[in-house]
């Protein structure tokens, strides 16, 4: 057998071995790609028990203050333990984080160089004093949040942002709990 014939025979055998006889199928859409989500973590939030702020934990997607606020607004409490929320009928519309500036009553804290002002826009019924305490004191548990501003959103427009501290609500602490500043 000539060299050329052997080469052609080898090529034919190789080609027949690689072809399996199955034709490719058309592309079929199987929906969105899978998304990997990490485990939830526990964060401290304030609910209400007997008219006082009650510290509890809630599952959140991340320790980011926006996720903690969303968990606070979604919390239902536990009726059998007498724990509830004053946030029923309120919706968290938006959370904004902005740098805390020296011009706006800055804070000089050598241990924490990153300070943020959290702005919350809340819609729904009128925000009660206890609901304000829940929001503000939960937000102030995050050391990077130095100030909390809340505006009430209504169909007629957005109210002005008002700055609050948790100190305004210290009388709402339970006997053994110390609220943040």
- CA atoms of 44 and 27, how far apart (whole Å): 48
Asked if the structure places residue 7 within a domain, the reply is no
What is the pLDDT tens value at each position of the chain, 181 positions in all?
A: 688 888 877 777 666 655 566 777 787 777 777 777 677 899 999 999 999 999 999 999 888 899 999 999 999 877 778 899 999 999 999 999 998 665 544 455 555 456 889 999 999 999 999 999 999 999 999 988 988 999 999 888 888 888 888 999 999 998 777 888 8
Asked if the structure places residue 9 within a domain, the reply is no
Asked if the structure places residue 27 within a domain, the reply is no
Q: Which residues have C-beta within 8 Å of that of residue 31, sequence separation ≥ 6?
A: none
The pair of three-digit structure tokens given for residue 63, joined into one six-digit string: 């320790």
- Identify each DSSP E strand in the chain by its residue range: 41-49, 52-60, 90-99, 116-124, 145-154, 157-158, 162-164
CB 97 within 8 A of CB 118: yes
Answer whether 0.85 is exceeded by the pTM.
Answer: no
Domain span including residue 140: 41-172
Nearest to 135 by CA among 51, 76, 48: 48
Asked if the structure places residue 166 within a domain, the reply is yes
Asked if the structure places residue 34 within a domain, the reply is no
Asked if the structure places residue 5 within a domain, the reply is no
Asked if the structure places residue 107 within a domain, the reply is yes
For the chain, state the CA radius of gyration: 29
Region of 102 on the Ramachandran plot (φ > 0 left; ψ -120 to 50 alpha; else beta): alpha
The number of domains in the chain is 1
Asked if the structure places residue 181 within a domain, the reply is no
CB 100 within 8 A of CB 147: yes
């Amino acid at each position: 057998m000539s060299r050329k014939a052997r080469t052609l025979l080898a090529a034919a055998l190789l080609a027949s071995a690689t072809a399996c006889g199955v034709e490719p199928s058309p592309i079929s859409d199987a929906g969105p790609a899978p998304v990997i989500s990490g485990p939830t973590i526990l964060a401290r939030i304030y609910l209400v028990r007997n008219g006082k702020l009650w510290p509890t934990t809630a599952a959140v997607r991340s320790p980011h203050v926006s996720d903690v606020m969303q968990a606070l607004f979604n919390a239902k409490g536990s009726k059998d333990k007498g724990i509830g929320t004053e946030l029923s009928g309120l919706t968290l519309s938006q959370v904004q984080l902005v740098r805390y500036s020296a011009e706006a009553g800055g804070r000089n804290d050598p241990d924490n160089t990153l300070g943020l002002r959290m702005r919350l826009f809340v819609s729904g019924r009128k925000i009660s004093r206890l609901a304000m305490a829940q929001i503000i004191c939960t937000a102030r548990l995050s050391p990077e949040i130095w100030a909390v501003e809340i505006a009430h959103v209504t169909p007629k427009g957005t109210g002005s942002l008002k700055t609050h501290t948790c100190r305004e609500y210290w009388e709402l602490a339970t006997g053994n709990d110390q609220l943040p500043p």
